[in-house]
Amino acid sequence: MSLSQEIIDEFNKAFKKARVAGETEPTAMVLATSDGHGLVTSRTVLLKALDEDGFVFFTNINSTKGRQLSACPRASATFLWKASGCQVQLTGTVSRVSDEATDAYFATRDRGSQIGAWASAQSAPLDSRETLLRRVREVEEQYAGREVLRPPFWVGFTLNPERVEFWWSREFRLHDRFEYTLEGGHWAKQRLYP
């Protein structure tokens, strides 16, 4: 089910407020994933796009999160925008971004990040920084004078929420919380106790 325009508008308004308030990295969200057997892990990723299908981020499919999302395509993400006193939480299902759209986004990244994507076996043990830098040099040589293509293991995911919560800081911890939940094919909104 698609996000409602109201939710997208609320998110964009809150995002803008965060930026205006001086939040240095408002696209950062803490993404929680699970192996499907009760092990939950979390880490920060950057939001790269938002549309009615959801919230898009990119990562390595062989990383801990990538493997967990392949096994259990559900996730939760939290934005903390301290400067504007806002938290946004998302919970829902996760699906892969198309290869074409992922290629298109990868092509916009700076060359150093493109090379880094090839060089990093994200989340695998690394014996030394020298090994990583050697791998970077090898990739640089391999792609010398030509375009760096997207590694097949570098992918995009869309978190398509079934629940979105906006939390706004208010005096005396009497904060405002608004929850949007998908119910029978439509989005319901309610206020929650802080």
Question: Residue 51 Cβ, how far from ligand FMN at the closest point, in Å?
Answer: 18
CA dist 76 and 110 (Å) reads: 29
Which region among 6-14, 58-66, 76-84, 179-187 touches ligand FMN (by CB under 6 A)?
A: 58-66
Count Cβ atoms below 10 Å from residue 79 Cβ, excluding itself: 23
Q: From residue 88 to residue 127, what is the string marking binding to ligand FMN with x (rule CB under 6 A)?
A: ----------------------------------xx----
Q: Is 111 a catalytic residue?
A: no
Q: Does 76 bind ligand FMN (CB under 6 A)?
A: no
Residues near ligand FMN, by CB under 6 A: 25, 28, 41, 43-46, 57-60, 63-65, 122-123
Residues involved in catalysis? 173
